[in-house]
Amino acid sequence: MEKPGHFSAAINNYEHFKPSTFAAGVQQPTGLLAVRLIIGETQEEAERLAMPMRVSFKQRRKDNIMPQYLPTPEEAIELMGGLLPAETTPWPAYIIGSPERIKTVVGRMLSETGATELMVQDVIHDTELRMRNYELLAKTFEL
């Protein structure tokens, strides 16, 4: 499975960890997995909610600047010429899916990396939908 290029350097640092000499310092290495993630009740809902994020990052790559506002999912679908399906690669740039898919993909990534923490970045245009994203994520992982 192809992992991101920076993954190897991070694991190398982890494997060569040296405990802090200070009493309050870190004594054991911990791994943090940071992902872009959108979860929906269904795969289709997640793909729809992810469209503003996908438009935003596409514009960022093209213009080297983040757009000033996030489009709604409907505007993003129109800008992209239709709804884009989620990536199915083992290490997707965006993890998009139903609770079952998210649990499978994130669980595998955590297992493969040995990470003990997960940091999630979402790019959701609406605050209520963003909160729902995190509530559904917490429910999925029984947090």
How many degrees, rounded to 5, is the angle at CA 91 between CA 89 and CA 97? 70
* Residue 47 forms part of a structural domain: yes
pLDDT tens for the chain, 143 residues long, are 455 666 667 777 777 888 888 878 778 777 888 899 999 999 999 999 999 988 888 887 888 777 788 899 999 999 999 998 888 888 888 899 999 999 999 999 998 888 888 999 988 889 999 999 999 999 999 99
* Residue 48 forms part of a structural domain: yes
How many structural domains does the chain have?
1
Q: Cα Rg for the chain, rounded, in angstroms?
A: 17
| pLDDT for position 78 | 95
* Residue 94 forms part of a structural domain: yes
* Residue 75 forms part of a structural domain: yes
* Residue 73 forms part of a structural domain: yes
* Residue 6 forms part of a structural domain: no
- The residue segments making up the domain with residue 64 are 32-140
pTM, 2 dp: 0.78
| pLDDT for position 106 | 95
* Residue 103 forms part of a structural domain: yes
* Residue 136 forms part of a structural domain: yes
CA 36 to chain centre: 2
